[in-house]
Structure 1
């Protein structure tokens, strides 16, 4: 959690303080184009003013310029010895750029100056949880809730640290405290039932979802995950509202979260393209379906005369835009976008997006219609290997898995020639490999 409190080691002159307060208000409100010129003007009039350096660094990070952000925040830290806020924000930037050792040091330095800084305590606990240092993560969260009992995120994080150590009942109690304090923190609240699913405690997870749904009966995320836990009537695909709300909620931390899972789908898609296409010379029109934060973009850019991306999440598209590799980014559902662009693309790629579809016929038919003759389509889905005859299955964690035979039948039905259908490890989740299919097809 970022801190947006100015340092207080030195009271600035009134004009500085007033300008800074205006800039920070714009920054908090997401009005970056208003905040930036104010911060720049402060530094022009008062070079080296540490709070302006700090918040300009936060702004640069929000814009996706993380190296500039690290440099600016480090300059502020030198000028604000003993000030906790910039160290906490430095840790946040370093986590999102996957520099975890440096991030841990920043958080610990922050706590050395201010031992009860609840943002840093919780952020460090989250980092240590992902490093499987659960006992210390628990201890940090307990310090945070002791210092500030109404800090919901610390209770949510404590609940996960407890469950990951096998203390289910105690974890559920901590989760209940978080829910009572902040019931609408979607990502934090949903982390507990998802953790229970990974522990095999499907009924415990379902109970949490039922209680949640009783208060928010139209919440698409809760409805989808409850169906995944209990089975019964399974939707043919995740709803647009589910996808949009889910991915908007964790767009800012998406890349760091996937890095911790040894996420391989973008590289697998790229490797398959290398085996199918001529050496890259910006010769193809390429569409990245469900592009997310744009992890595939830099890998395929050199093949693209024009590189387009579409996604349902505005938050994810904002992150993709910061990479500055896409020529076009569209807020659109992928089947609709394909249908609106017949014979428009030479290459379609789709890394880990079709796992939110069960029934794939419409998506593959639309892909075939959007390709030019000879065009290629490379995508990943999770693998369902049951011999029970199911074409696909909604798994308890909320993603669909597909049977190899079903994919082959569909490719033939929509007029795509199968070029490859390989079994691959897509990621590691809860210590277990997630196996999927890497598929390549061509329009004749």
Structure 2
């Protein structure tokens, strides 16, 4: 660490302490002093942008986030997401992979405690409940592919329902946590839209719990999943419910998907929807986060089968049932 970076780091620590105290004016002054000591420190620019946004100085926040992106085009801290929410950047069709990877690498040690205790997360349980009526129709042995497997919550909740389970996640540290549980046959750090050859094929069930929320356009992930599945296999997934077609970015920095858009992507990518319900996926700042819990069947020839398909109907309403 250079002398300037050391001085900047100390000043930035003071700025963050002032943020905790709610003194944004003083925090901005100290953060700017940190940048005067090291103008090339990308993290300091991002932190200054965050403080400006908290203080309601959105124009200055935009400038700081843009300067961060000049210094770190890979955007591991998610400045583009912040710019999008501030209305200063066009919406992309997915969150930056480097940002998502860094986010969950950092989150891994406290992931389960945070999700279960603070956010009341129930995604895997809702998916297990939704797919249970369809499991007897699946061929055995049943192999599951867990997309965005994280620390392995799906593997634990689905225990006893499969013969083997493999997982893929962008975050190597999340993968390490899942591996320590000894549940998964194969675990791979990779992108669910372009899955590596380390994973198999012919899966009878694909599970996507709280992972597709980081993608706007669902088609690449759905096509990649379909390519790994047996004809007639099932995909069960959660998505945050959105009212903007085809998707929008919510304040929690996750995408929300419109029901009609989901149905169109499913048809395009070779799936028929066999179950679609609304339910509460978790809490966010004390407010329930409503999501779709869906089961879809892979069609071998991509011909769209309309029998048993849940009609989109009113895009802002549930399609016949609600899970609690």
TM-score when normalising by structure 2: 0.74
CA shift at 1:256, angstroms?
2.2
1:156 paired residue among 16, 23, 26 = 16
Cα deviations across residues 199-251 of structure 1 (Å, max 9, x unaligned)? 98865754552343354344343343234323442221123222222221222
Structure 1, 241-250 or 345-354: larger mean CA deviation: 241-250
Paired residues of 1:156 and 1:178 also in contact (CA < 8 A): no
Residue of structure 1 equivalent to 2:160: 302
CA shift at 1:427, angstroms?
1.7
Structure 1, 418-427 or 205-214: larger mean CA deviation: 205-214
Paired residues of 1:228 and 1:398 also in contact (CA < 8 A): no
1:239 paired residue among 96, 116, 119 = 96
Structure 1, 354-363 or 393-402: larger mean CA deviation: 393-402
CA shift at 1:315, angstroms?
0.9
Paired residues of 2:48 and 2:61 also in contact (CA < 8 A): no
1:225 matched to 2:81? The reply is yes
> Rg: which structure is higher?
1
CA shift at 1:393, angstroms?
1.3
Cα gap change, 1:223 to 1:151, in 2 (>3 Å): closer
1:425 paired residue among 266, 276, 280 = 280
Question: What are the ranges of 5 or more consecutive residues in structure 2 without an aligned counterpart?
Answer: 1-8, 300-324
CA shift at 1:402, angstroms?
0.7
More helix by share: 1
Question: What are the ranges of 5 or more consecutive residues in structure 1 without an aligned counterpart?
Answer: 1-148
Could you tell me how far apart the structure 1 residues matched to 2:17 and 2:114 are?
A: 15
Structure 1, 177-186 or 307-316: larger mean CA deviation: 177-186
CA shift at 1:287, angstroms?
0.7
Bigger relative contact order, structure 1 or 2 (CA pairs below 8 A, ≥6 apart): 2
1:368 paired residue among 202, 226, 243 = 226
Could you tell me how far apart the structure 1 residues matched to 2:240 and 2:293 are?
A: 9
Could you tell me how far apart the structure 2 residues matched to 1:267 and 1:179 are?
A: 46
Cα deviations across residues 118-142 of structure 1 (Å, max 9, x unaligned)? xxxxxxxxxxxxxxxxxxxxxxxxx
| Helix, strand or coil at the partner of 1:364 | helix
Paired residues of 1:338 and 1:366 also in contact (CA < 8 A): no
Cα gap change, 1:413 to 1:340, in 2 (>3 Å): farther
More strand by share: 2
CA shift at 1:373, angstroms?
2.1
> What count of residue pairs does the alignment treat as equivalent?
286
Structure 1, 350-359 or 423-432: larger mean CA deviation: 423-432
| Helix, strand or coil at the partner of 2:183 | coil
TM-score when normalising by structure 1: 0.55
Residue of structure 1 equivalent to 2:195: 337
Could you tell me how far apart the structure 2 residues matched to 1:156 and 1:282 are?
A: 55
Paired residues of 2:190 and 2:196 also in contact (CA < 8 A): no
Paired residues of 1:221 and 1:246 also in contact (CA < 8 A): yes
Could you tell me how far apart the structure 1 residues matched to 2:247 and 2:173 are?
A: 29
Paired residues of 1:225 and 1:397 also in contact (CA < 8 A): no
